[in-house]
Amino acid sequence: MLFGNLPAALALVGEERVSVSLNARLEKDLPFAPATSLPVVVLDTDTGQGLAFAGVCAEGPVKRCTRADANGQALLGGLFRGTYRVYPDPRFLPQGYREEKAAQVQVEPGTPLAGVQVRVAPPKREIVVTYTADRLSLVATADPPSPLAGAEVEVKALVQGEAEAVWLELPTGRIPLQPQGENYYAARIRLTLPPGFHSLRVLAQGREEAEAPLFLQVLQGALFDPRVLEGPKVRLTLRFRARQVALSKGGESFPLRSENGYTWTGEVPLGPGQHTLLVLADGETLGQVALSIPAESATH
């Protein structure tokens, strides 16, 4: 599906089913609405600390649920305008824990939302609270949580229990996450997702299968920096690792060099003045860069 220049602050309302035929083209109007994300902390009233891996939901015009990280912090994404009740998800609380305090939030997309707290109370002291060791569960995060379309993002998962494989599920297939030690798994990948809100899944397979949601707010932006250069010696930084990078103008190509695939340097032997060049990375056109070459430093 192609969404063109869809603003990143929009999300698809509901789900649409379509029937696709081979070699056929289907056009369908899809309902989108402004959406935003809400930071939440699930607080353990006994310790005063965030409750690791606790579940939390927001219910209003739509219902969104997710799992907190190791510090009890979570991000509920894809929320449309309206009033929401934010509460602990009893499906993902330690045995005996119960809701102590929920929160009421008014969502207005475009207006920044302050983080909210929901509270859970532990069971009576004589009850031992723990997660079963052989119960497989995980929590997933992305760094950054709001990447640029076409840029790299690091997907991380903290797994509880014995996992034989951990992966990110994408429409194009599975992306395996590699063990990093101490039950952490990670993969640095370039996501080819259009701007907008995306709800993905990270899964773990052991004696059972577990999954965790991964919400990404993909933004539109330049995949290189800076956008204005002063030459003839130039330096560009890409937001993803590339094998070959060149600047191009009028049929001429000026290759750059790099040691890490991200930072690229070189020299553009053009005359003094203002120039507009294309930035090419592995054959992909990333956009235009403005190059200014002073008269005293121009090479001929």
Q: Determine the pLDDT at residue 131.
A: 47
Cα(102)–Cα(118) distance, integer angstroms: 5
Domains of the chain: 35-121 (2.60.40.10), 132-218 (2.60.40.10), 224-297 (2.60.40.10)
Average pLDDT over the chain reads 84
What's the pTM? 0.56
**DSSP per position, 140-168:** EEEESSSPBTTSEEEEEEEEES--SEEEE
The answer to whether 198 touches 35, Cβ cutoff 8 Å, is no
Q: How many CA atoms lie within 13 A of 245 on its CB side?
A: 28
Q: How confident is the model at residue 144 (pLDDT cuts 50, 70, 90)?
A: confident
**What pLDDT was estimated at residue 134?**
58
Contact 222, 240 (CB under 8 A): no
Tens-place pLDDT, residues 175-193: 999 999 888 999 999 988 8
Alpha-carbon distance of 207 to 216, in angstroms, equals 29
Q: How confident is the model at residue 71 (pLDDT cuts 50, 70, 90)?
A: confident
3-state secondary structure of 286: strand
